[in-house]
Amino acid sequence: MADYFQVSTATPTRDQAVELARTVVSRRLAAGAQIIGPVISAWWHGGEFGTGEEWQLLLKTTAARYPELEAHILKHHPWQKPELAAVPIQAGSGACLEWIAANTTPLT
């Protein structure tokens, strides 16, 4: 299993994306967040095709912190069943990976 993940989700508004990013980073569930948007998404949901504008979040975390990050996102996300995907970081600069590790360590 990889030690580091890039996690993605999306929200319907910029303000919701900023708030979700603020809470996960301030709780050290993710070392950092990037908000990209608006993006246009196309999807199937409830048997129907749809398109719409969303704000994408990319979060950097560790495998150890991922379960808490996932639980937080699922609890605080504006959608009942949000997109949530974690992709292992297979390689990265040592400094970047050290930054992720250092900034996801819970404060005591």
pLDDT of 31 higher than 70 = yes
Distance CA 8, CA 33 (A): 10
pLDDT of 15 higher than 80 = yes
Mean pLDDT computed over every residue of the chain: 95
The letter for the amino acid at 31 is A
Give me the pLDDT at residue 1, please.
56
CA 33 to chain centre: 7
Give me the pLDDT at residue 45, please.
87
pLDDT of 95 higher than 70 = yes
Distance CA 30, CA 91 (A): 18
Distance CA 105, CA 27 (A): 10
Give me the pLDDT at residue 108, please.
72
| pLDDT digit string, tens, across residues 50-94 | 999 999 999 999 999 999 999 999 999 999 999 999 999 999 999
Give me the pLDDT at residue 48, please.
96
Q: pLDDT higher for 4 or 106?
A: 4
Residues ≥6 apart with Cβ < 8 Å to 45: none
Distance CA 51, CA 69 (A): 27
Q: Among 17, 1, 9, which residue's Cα sits nearest to residue 69?
A: 9
